[in-house]
A and B are shown apart, each in its own frame.
Chain A
Amino acid sequence: MGFRQVVKSIKSWRVLDILMLKHQIKIIKEGSGLNKQLSSSLSSRVAVVTGPTRGIGVTISKEFAENNDAEVVICSGSKQRALQVAKEISGKAFGAKLGITDISDVLEEIIGVRHRIDILVNNARYHFNSKTWSKIRSELQSISEVLHGSMRTCRNVISTIIGADGRTTQNAIGGRGVIIASTPDISAHTQGSPYTFAKAAIIAMIKHNACVHGRNTTEAFIGLRNIAKEGAYNSMSTDKK
């Protein structure tokens, strides 16, 4: 290979390097563009998160408020706890009390200040209770109560999201519902019918909500289930571990 050929090959490699560098920069830019797109689609959206005072609920609230600039309304049975969690989140986070049987008060409160609700994250958690586990009837009753509460919350909040209840003061533009049906505490206890019942009921609840409300808005009912976490392990007996 002569001197000129060597110089030519070096030059061509440099050109190739520059082209590759430009390509990499383009990929990086496109990547950050996607993040901006996600952030902007949630920016200033009003998200109602239930059950957010611990674990998954807290991290979801933080993800919305801190990383995506959404307005998060933290709804808990304990207003004090809800306000406390809201303070721990840097971003637009607010605490509100979620009634067990009637959630009209909290909806009035949210609409009065925020004027609309865009997103519902229903974080329904079923607590494993070793005392009732051996009694199928009691266990089924407990599961039913959790599911009933979820159904009630979804029905009421979604009505507000789509503007069907007359509360919304701004034009309802449709929203999204995400149901987190975490049943980790019983996922490690596969014997017996309560788990099967809970699993089937959760899926049915999600599909029911999608059928009833899906045509009126752009909701995506997605149940995140069987979330593997340490709680499942901790709920097991010593010999199982």
Chain B
Amino acid sequence: MNALEEPSMKRWRKPGEVSKIVARVASSSFSFATRNTPVVGGCIVL
């Protein structure tokens, strides 16, 4: 299986698309959310 042949957003992530998620998670916005492993993969799911 070739990851890049899968349906995706056809682009690489931008730096801010990870850092803003991290800042939000580290803030009090996710105070009751734990043990999560969200994928930041632009639709590439392996």
Chain A interface (Cβ within 8 Å of chain B)? 38, 41-42, 45, 47, 55-56, 58-60, 62-64, 67-68, 119, 121, 176, 178, 180-181, 187-188, 190, 195, 199, 202-203, 206-207, 210-211, 214, 218-230, 232-233, 236, 240
Closest to A58 in B: B15
Given A41-B27, A55-B15, A233-B12; A226-B40 close (CB under 8 Å): yes
Once the chains bind, are A38 and B24 in contact (CB under 8 Å)? Answer: yes
- Distance from A178 Cβ to chain B, minimum over Cβ atoms (Å): 5
A190 touches B3 (CB 8 A): yes
Q: Which residues of B contact A62 (CB under 8 A)?
A: 19
CB closest residue in chain A, given B30:
A220
- Dominant secondary structure of chain B at its interface with chain A: loop
How many chain B residues touch A (CB < 8 A): the figure is 37
* Contact of A56 with B37 in the complex, beta carbons under 8 Å: no
Contact among A41, A226, A232 with B39 in the assembled complex (CB-CB below 8 Å): A226
State whether A227 and B2 are in contact (beta carbons under 8 Å apart), knowing that A63-B16, A121-B22 are contacts in the complex: no
Assess the A229–B45 pair: CB atoms within 8 A.
no
